[in-house]
């Protein structure tokens, strides 16, 4: 807080307040940026798909979208294609989603989904409405509270901002609901590293260990979920988005029953820029069923 001396003329005090407002606005303007990223999905070294991810970050608003697909003989864990989008506001160093939409086509057909958020609580609309299956853990109202969508959750505010990554940025639990499945990703610090992405970012990254904690919406007898849940050899690699205090994933490593699934950025082009609020589309493929 800036103290104004009692003897300062009123005009000078007003000028000082105006100057502080200008400086705050300048800081907010620097906290804007865009990201265009492209990821390849591979299994045991064989490329099986791709994801294109767009992000726009402003001082108070954000939008993000992605499209993705996976196919081929090794893609039984992530087979399908889809697009997803999310938008919301930025307050108190948090991304607070207001809406999330997805269109996912997989072996079960095409499902369109919309989430709307109010104070972190989600309400979903799904078309067509999936049949009730006795082997799925039901999603309760409590599971819909205090959560984020899959895209907003992995856009993580950094402690210091300005492209500076800290070990403490890993120490959090991402509470995620995609409209059908409710799960946590418990992050913890693993190490600092460096990366040189073919197109775009080159510099330090933050490597977080990840533990998947299934909550609801999944099949209770799913071998995939049983194999992955609780493992401590999953990793999320994060890089900063230029011009913002937000970091985003550049690599995901996840063990599966048939080998390591890797999602890796070969393009991570970020630049400081004013936000042009416009909904985008996004789709990291859904978690295993």
Could you tell me the pLDDT band of residue 139, with boundaries at 50, 70 and 90? very high
Nearest to 100 by CA among 43, 58, 147: 147
Query: Highest-confidence range of 84-98, 217-231, 268-282, by mean pLDDT?
Result: 84-98
| pTM score, whole prediction | 0.80
Tens of pLDDT along 275-287? 344 343 433 444 4
pLDDT at residue 23 greater than cutoff 60: no
Contact 248, 241 (CB under 8 A): yes
Instruction: Quote the pLDDT of residue 130.
Output: 81
Q: Is the pLDDT of residue 191 over 90?
A: yes
User: What are the phi and psi torsion angles at 131 (to 5°)?
Assistant: -65, 150
pLDDT, tens only, 236-250 = 999 999 989 999 999
> Where do the DSSP E strands lie in 72-180?
80-91, 94-106, 109-118, 121-127, 156-157, 172-177
pLDDT in tens, 3-15: 434 433 344 333 3
Higher confidence at residue 232 or residue 15?
A: 232
Q: What pLDDT, on a 0 to 100 scale, did the predictor assign at position 91? A: 86
Grade residue 72 by pLDDT with cuts at 50, 70 and 90.
low
pLDDT-based confidence at 196, cuts 50/70/90?
very high
Check residue 236 and give left, alpha or beta (phi > 0: left; psi -120 to 50: alpha). beta
């Amino acid at each position: 807080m800036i103290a104004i001396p009692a003897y300062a003329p009123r005009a000078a005090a007003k000028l000082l307040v105006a100057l502080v407002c200008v400086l705050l606005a300048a800081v907010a303007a620097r906290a804007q940026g865009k990201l265009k990223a492209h990821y390849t999905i591979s299994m045991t070294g064989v490329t099986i798909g791709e994801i294109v991810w767009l992000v726009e970050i402003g001082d108070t608003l954000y939008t993000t979208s992605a499209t993705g697909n996976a196919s081929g003989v090794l893609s039984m864990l992530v087979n399908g294609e889809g697009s997803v989008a999310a938008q919301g506001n930025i307050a108190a160093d948090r991304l607070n989603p207001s809406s999330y939409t997805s269109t996912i086509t997989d072996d079960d057909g095409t499902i369109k989904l919309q989430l709307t958020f109010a104070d972190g609580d989600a309400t979903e609309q799904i078309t067509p409405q999936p049949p009730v299956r006795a082997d799925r853990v039901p999603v309760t109202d409590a599971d819909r509270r205090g959560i984020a969508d899959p895209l907003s959750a992995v856009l993580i505010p950094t402690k210091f901002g300005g492209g500076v990554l800290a070990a403490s940025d890993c120490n959090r639990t991402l509470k995620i609901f995609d409209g059908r499945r409710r799960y946590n990703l418990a992050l913890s610090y693993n190490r600092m590293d460096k990366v040189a992405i073919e197109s775009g970012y080159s510099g330090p990254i933050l490597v977080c260990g990840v533990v998947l904690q299934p909550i609801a919406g999944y099949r209770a007898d799913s071998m995939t979920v049983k194999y992955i849940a609780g493992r401590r050899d999953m990793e999320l690699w994060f890089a900063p988005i230029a011009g913002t205090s937000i970091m985003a994933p550049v690599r995901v490593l996840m063990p599966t029953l048939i080998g390591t699934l890797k999602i890796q950025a070969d393009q991570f082009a970020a630049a400081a820029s004013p936000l042009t609020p416009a909904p985008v589309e996004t789709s990291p493929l859904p978690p295993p069923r």
